Chains A and B, each alone.
Chain A
Amino acid sequence: MKHILQKYYFGLLLLCLPFISMGQLENGKVSVLFSLPEVALVDIEPGNNNPVNLTLLPPSESGNSSIIEKSADASLWINYSSALPAHQNSRSITAEVAQGQIPSGVKLFLEASAISGGKGQCGISNGKTEISTQPRPIISEIGNCSTGDGMNKGHQISYSIEITDYPQLKSTGNGVETNVLIVYTLTDN
């Protein structure tokens, strides 16, 4: 009986040894914290010397009802970077006349092209949009994205004018310009 007990005692100790020898492994633990901030940036390229000139010319024949409109080359591009907090769906870019006055009898229009390049959820053009002193969305559904920086990236901006009231048209005189400043804003929806 004594020998049987000793065998069981020895066997039990052998069974326990692996659990005891596991003390050779030890772990240390540390937390890693990393935050990405909210981002909302928009600009027009090129950044300097970027006026757009629009000119109304007299008809070539008297009596013609139409007046030749000369639209400026659409050589401007709008770039933006956007990172939204989780609770926010999307953003838009609005345009408005911030300084100057659009001549009477004329309407100013702006159209953003479809996105060129970029990554993430870039915006969708709202098409041809009349510009006034009230902000109007020209690009919508902007999510987490970046268009790329510079010309030929983002959305190309095209300007045009339409004559809506001939009697209101007045000549400004040779060499006299009407200057209008347009401001673009990236806004939360």
Chain B
Amino acid sequence: MKIILFKMLILLLPFIAQGQQLVVQIDSEINFDSSSLIISEAGEDFTASVESYAPVYVSVLSDNQLDKKINPGHSWRIFIHMQEIDWNDDLRLEVKRTGTGSKPDSNGKPQISNGENYQLIQSTPGYFFNGKGEIAQIPLGFRISGFSVTMGAKNFESSLIFTVYDD
């Protein structure tokens, strides 16, 4: 009997471990409006920096109903880093959180902190912000700088990776 119960416990462990799974969802791409790259006088370079013209939304959600009920205040941290596809080392991409998002299942105030000032995104993961429980539609703003006419007319592309860790 003890052996049977022990085996059942072993079999249940994957589900318990998997119950701590959080997922991060991103809404839309990040685009910068080229029309805001202004040179007002011959001889000048581009304006110093450009901000993304529409917010990008990040949601941290649990895909396990059991965990949501047992541990609704599950603490987590978001890390962010960049994977360059066609980029320039002089370009600086920064991100900040511009709001708190919302609780998807309640009217409560989201518990979220840090990430409210622009921070540089690098090729290695860096801590961004943290929160508790499910939080949806967290708005992010992006700013790019370091560009110049000396780079020529060119399209640049990169990928941003958001990773959520248990806190």
Which residues of A come within 8 Å of B, CB atoms? 6, 9-10, 13, 16-17, 20-21, 23-39, 41-43, 79-86, 119-121, 144-150, 153-154
Contacts and interface: CB of A to CB of B under 8 A. Distances in A.
12 contacts: A20-B17, A26-B23, A27-B162, A28-B162, A29-B162, A30-B159, A33-B32, A33-B155, A35-B32, A36-B151, A41-B42, A83-B150
B43 A36 contact: no
Given A26-B21, A28-B161, A33-B32, 18 more contacts: A13-B10, A13-B13, A20-B14, A24-B17, A24-B166, A30-B159, A31-B160, A32-B82, A37-B37, A37-B153, A41-B43, A42-B42, A43-B42, A83-B150, A85-B152, A121-B150, A146-B43, A146-B44
Interface residues of B, number: 56
B149 A81 contact: yes
A15 to B, nearest CB: 12
Nearest to A43: B42
A30 B157 CA distance: 11
Contacts of B43: 41, 43, 79-81, 146-150, 153-154
Given A33-B29, A39-B149, A24 B21 contact: yes
Interface in B140-167: 142, 144, 147-166
B42 A6 contact: no
Contacts of A145: 149-150
Contact of A35 (B41, B42, B156, B163): B156
Given A20-B13, A149-B41, A28 B26 contact: yes
A38 B147 CA distance: 13
A173 to B, nearest CB: 38
Interface of B: 3, 7, 10-11, 13-14, 17-18, 20-26, 28-32, 34, 37, 39, 41-46, 56, 58, 82, 91, 93, 142, 144, 147-166
B30 A119 contact: no
B144 to A, nearest CB: 6
B89 to A, nearest CB: 14
B42 A149 contact: yes
Nearest to A148: B43
Shortest Cβ-Cβ A-B pairs, 5 listed: A79-B43, A120-B150, A149-B43, A28-B24, A41-B42
Contacts of B147: 34, 36
B1 to A, nearest CB: 14
B21 to A, nearest CB: 4
A44 to B, nearest CB: 9
B156 A29 contact: no
Contacts of B22: 24, 26
